[in-house]
Amino acid sequence: MRVALKIWRYDALAGKRALEEYEVDASEEATLLDCLDVVKDRIDGSLAYRKSCRMMICGSCGMRMDGAAVLACKTQMRPFVDAGHVPVISAMGNLPIVKDLVVDMEPFWGKMQAVTPWLQPGYTDPGEKEYVVSQERMDVIHKESLCIMCGCCVSECNSMESDPDFLGPAALAKGMRFVGDPRDKATVERLQAYSDEHGIWDCTRCYFCQERCPKGVDPRDAIAKLGAEAMEHGIDSDLGAKHAKWFVTSTKTTGWLRETELVPKTQGIVRSLKEMKFAMGLARHGKVPPPIPPHVAKHVDEARALYDIVKDQGGRDGAQGIVQSERALSRLEFEADETVTENGQVVVREPFGPGSFPRPKPVEQPGEERAAP
């Protein structure tokens, strides 16, 4: 098949960027990396990019396609050819470009080093008996252990774009891998360090890291686990932690989020007084409901009962509660399947009973139009 590519070239010495288009002949099963190899071998040997294993486990070939981070060795080109679309290939974001599609990974590794990415068992003599960890305890960090440190999540992180000092999704996911490891004895010290400025609570929750991770690590979930663990250990002095705690208190007591109390409960009375002018402006436009008497939702008992059920069940505090949600989503994603009966009828098996949840929407390929219902 004939594959067309537009590649952003960058000359570090001249400080110039240029968009160049190439066309190559490739096999039907060719990936983006295969096509780049053809360009370099047969058309322009000066093209620079990284690669290593070609098996989606080394993370070397991270780059952007049409503005979104991908692994070149994982991206099939057939759908783009069928759609008549010419993708634009560029270097990953949030990292300095060295040449063409090669970025400087030094900032990435620096942040990784900052989270102390090694086990701290708290002893010098391991003894002779093996430390056996249950599968249930390891499930907490199963996804985080899959990270290949390709940098795709960092490339798309909005928080890092606005604050380059933010630790970032990859480093924090690696941090959760050790916070959740029952063999590690530095949990409190880690959580205190991760909760400092530019840490856990600086995440904007845009979920782009989750969307672009090629290995299903879901870094945003890892950051949520860290936040839950931090509050479980009483490390909640950050405004982000106070913000989250007020969400729970507000919905538990009145059944809805009382936004008029959010600022004083999060920032304190003194700091909230500085926002009075802004608050009065909102009040004049009817955007601030009267705080007294507080509005209570009609079925607030249901919200309170749900809170009590979760607490009474136990085992859902900290990161474990988020892990249970991950299991439910995994079942929804992978266990809903179709069975064709003898008479040709298609029967859909839902993971939680017929009609219990909508089925996940298929991901549209470039140029693909979703059929009308």
Give, for all 373 residues of the chain, the pLDDT tens digit. 999 999 999 998 888 999 999 999 999 999 999 999 999 999 999 999 999 999 999 999 999 999 999 999 999 999 999 999 999 999 999 999 999 999 999 999 999 999 999 999 988 888 888 888 888 888 889 999 999 999 999 999 999 999 999 999 999 999 999 999 999 999 999 999 999 999 999 999 999 999 999 999 999 999 999 999 999 999 998 988 998 888 888 888 888 888 778 888 888 888 778 878 877 887 787 777 776 777 788 888 988 888 888 777 766 677 777 776 666 565 555 444 555 555 666 555 554 445 544 444 444 444 444 444 4
The pLDDT value given to residue 181: 94
What lies within 8 Å, CB to CB, of 27 at 6+ separation is 1, 34
Amino acid in position 194: Y
At residue 9's C-alpha, the angle toward residues 78 and 364, to 5°, is 30
Q: How far apart are CA 82 and CA 124, in angstroms?
A: 60
Phi, psi of 78 (to 5 degrees): -55, -45
Q: Which parts of the chain fold into alpha helices (H)?
A: 32-38, 78-83, 106-114, 135-139, 152-155, 158-162, 169-179, 187-194, 208-212, 219-232, 239-254, 262-267, 269-273, 276-284, 300-313, 319-334
Q: Which domains does the chain have, with CATH numbers?
A: 2-103 (3.10.20.30), 106-122+135-232 (1.10.1060.10), 251-313 (no CATH)
Q: How far apart are CA 265 and CA 261, in angstroms?
A: 6
Burial class of residue 373, CB neighbours in 10 A (0-12, 13-18, 19+): exposed
Tokens (6 digits) for 160: 């890092």
Q: How far apart are CA 143 and CA 164, in angstroms?
A: 25
Q: How far apart are CA 342 and CA 331, in angstroms?
A: 26
Q: How far apart are CA 62 and CA 214, in angstroms?
A: 10
Element at 233 (helix H, strand E)? none
Q: What is the DSSP string of 120-169?
A: --S-S---SS-----HHHHHTTTTGGG-----HHHHT-HHHHH-TTS--H
Nearest partner of 172 among 191, 156, 148, judged by Cα: 191
The pLDDT value given to residue 80: 96
Beta bridge partners of 103: 97
Q: How far apart are the first and last CA of the chain?
A: 33
Q: What is the DSSP string of 178-208?
A: HHT-TT-S-HHHHHHHHTSTTSGGG-----H
The interaxial angle of helices 169-179 and 187-194, nearest 10 deg, is 160
Sign of CA pseudo-dihedral 349, 352, 358, 359: negative
Tokens (6 digits) for 19: 């968009």
Phi, psi of 128 (to 5 degrees): -105, -15
What lies within 8 Å, CB to CB, of 33 at 6+ separation is 51, 54, 61, 72, 73, 75
Sign of CA pseudo-dihedral 306, 308, 310, 312: negative
